[in-house]
Amino acid sequence: MELSSTAHVILGMLSWRPMSGYEIKALVDRSTRFFWAASYGQIYPELRKLSAAGLIEGKAEPRGGRRRNVYRLTPAGRRELEAWLSVDAETFELRDEGLLKLFFAEAGGSEAAIKALDAKRRDHERLLSRLEEMEATGRPDGFAYQVLRYGIECNRWQAEWCERTMRELEKELDAESRRSA
Amino acid sequence: MELSSTAHVILGMLSWRPMSGYEIKALVDRSTRFFWAASYGQIYPELRKLSAAGLIEGKAEPRGGRRRNVYRLTPAGRRELEAWLSVDAETFELRDEGLLKLFFAEAGGSEAAIKALDAKRRDHERLLSRLEEMEATGRPDGFAYQVLRYGIECNRWQAEWCERTMRELEKELDAESRRSA
DNA sequence: GGTTGCATGTAAAACGTTACATGATTTT
DNA sequence: AAAATCATGTAACGTTTTACATGCAACC
């Protein structure tokens, strides 16, 4: 049986501790979201499939009158997670609309390029702030911390690249306008 | 009418010069692919939609006995492209399975973390080589060149981050094994 | 009594890839 | 003569998001 990529996020989260679908979603949003997102529309159906496949086990654990299903990894699930870890990753996908706008900015003049760079810089800075806050409020254990550091450093790098490139373009623009003056 | 994100890639490419769907796909693969991919399954249907919407115009221009449709931007299409450039980007999505493996590497021991970092480093270096080759063989005009530089520098940064983090982990592992020896 | 948070789920739509089908031309 | 490249297209499939529906509990 072929497992979807999101299935491994669930197996991974459950390798830390038993959790409900709601908790998995909340944890994803606070940790992997910036490089691997998952929605309820994926998580709940996937929990059923993994349960049917015997890789996880669910148990009703209501909190008060609120129903709640907590899942935990089975031995087979742990083996599947380890098998996944032992093979090289396949998926690396990036969709960066800001870069696309810069790419085609000729059609909007130099201001379009500056604007695209500025917006992209702000986006990376916004994410950077959130990640730095996460580090300050409760730094994750183990390798998850390296990943958080990656997020922080990589977004800082990207924000700086935007700033640097923007300054270069502005300098060129300036030189151009002086020449024509 | 709401335009898909891929529609703007087409409008942008046609703002450079008239092209066939095949040429657009080839150009995408040689330029935006590392941050914005597009398949035939998107391009050909999209060309029809954009044509129906009056944003582009197609003309049959066979080469020998080979049929071929060349599209060009209409004034309305150029306006649409400019309008798109004038608003801030929305989409920034990353799916990095290598980072996900590092994130959950606890379940596979430190070797799993090293392995994930090593594979990710190789991936970035492979892409880096391709981008550097692109720069050497025919550097693109205008802002597309800044984007290529971004690809080169960002992938180099990422490869270096992997190497650096791998060395740190190896050092820690070493210290650990010496303590237990 | 209203808002926010906990909690589960589904249906429809949108998005995107892959594989396939077809056929001409150029290169080896 | 075969293989690669040019060229267009679609159907099936899988993935992902969005919006919606439901309801309890805690807090203000």
Residue A70 has pLDDT above 80, yes or no: yes
Residue B77 has pLDDT above 90, yes or no: yes
pLDDT at B65: 87
Categorize the per-residue pLDDT at A181 as very low, low, confident or very high, splitting at 50, 70 and 90.
confident
Cα A39–chain centre separation: 12
Paired with B60 in beta bridges are B69
In whole angstroms, how large is the CA radius of gyration of chain A?
22
What's the structural domain count of chain B? 2
Residue B111 has pLDDT above 80, yes or no: yes
Distance C9 C1' – A49 CA (angstroms): 14
pLDDT at B85: 97
Q: Which domain holds residue B133?
A: 97-180
Q: Least CB-CB distance to B147: which of A102, A146, A157?
A: A102
pLDDT at A5: 83
On whether residue A39 sits in a domain, the answer given is yes
Q: Least CB-CB distance to A96: which of B36, B113, B165?
A: B36
Residue A1 has pLDDT above 80, yes or no: no
On whether residue A27 sits in a domain, the answer given is yes
Based on the fold, state whether residues B101 and B176 are members of the same structural domain: yes
Based on the fold, state whether residues A20 and A73 are members of the same structural domain: yes
Examine the fold and report which residue of B85, B115, B136 is the final residue of a domain before the chain moves on. B85
On whether residue A25 sits in a domain, the answer given is yes
pLDDT at A150: 98
Categorize the per-residue pLDDT at A180 as very low, low, confident or very high, splitting at 50, 70 and 90.
confident
Based on the fold, state whether residues A111 and A163 are members of the same structural domain: yes
Residue predicted with more confidence, A50 or A1? A50
Based on the fold, state whether residues A104 and A175 are members of the same structural domain: yes
Distance, CA of A134 to CA of B16 (rounded, Å) = 43
pLDDT at A120: 98
pLDDT digits (tens, 9 = 90+) for B2-54: 898 899 999 999 999 999 999 999 999 999 999 999 999 999 999 999 999 99
Residue A164 has pLDDT above 80, yes or no: yes
On whether residue A91 sits in a domain, the answer given is no
Categorize the per-residue pLDDT at B174 as very low, low, confident or very high, splitting at 50, 70 and 90.
confident
User: Hey, what are A79's tokens?
Assistant: 């083996």
Based on the fold, state whether residues A71 and A116 are members of the same structural domain: no
When the pLDDT of each residue in chain A is averaged and rounded to a whole number, the result is 95
Q: Are A54 and A75 in contact (CB under 8 A)?
A: no
On whether residue B154 sits in a domain, the answer given is yes
On whether residue A92 sits in a domain, the answer given is no
Based on the fold, state whether residues A13 and A72 are members of the same structural domain: yes
B93: chain A residues, CB-CB within 8 Å: 37, 93-96
Mean pLDDT of A138-152: 95
Contact between the CB of A165 and strand D at under 7 Å: no
Examine the fold and report which residue of B33, B58, B85 is the final residue of a domain before the chain moves on. B85
Examine the fold and report which residue of A62, A85, A108 is the final residue of a domain before the chain moves on. A85
Based on the fold, state whether residues A161 and A114 are members of the same structural domain: yes
Based on the fold, state whether residues A109 and A166 are members of the same structural domain: yes
Hey, is A140 helix, strand or coil?
A: coil
Indicate the burial class of B161 (C-beta count within 10 angstroms; 0-12, 13-18, 19 or more).
Answer: buried
On whether residue B91 sits in a domain, the answer given is no
Based on the fold, state whether residues B107 and B171 are members of the same structural domain: yes
Residue B152 has pLDDT above 90, yes or no: yes
A97: chain B residues, CB-CB within 8 Å: 5, 36, 89-92
pLDDT at A175: 87
On whether residue A20 sits in a domain, the answer given is yes
Based on the fold, state whether residues A69 and A127 are members of the same structural domain: no
pLDDT at B115: 97
pLDDT digits (tens, 9 = 90+) for A53-62: 999 999 999 9
Residue B1 has pLDDT above 90, yes or no: no
- The string of DSSP codes covering B28-82 is HHHTTTTT----HHHHHHHHHHHHHTTSEEEEE--BTTB--EEEEE-HHHHHHHH
CATH number at residue A61: 1.10.10.10
Question: How far lies A135's CA from each of A103, A148, A176, A179, B106, in Å?
Answer: 33, 7, 44, 49, 19
Pairing of strands A92-96, A69-73: unpaired
Based on the fold, state whether residues B112 and B81 are members of the same structural domain: no
pLDDT at A39: 97
Based on the fold, state whether residues A101 and A174 are members of the same structural domain: yes
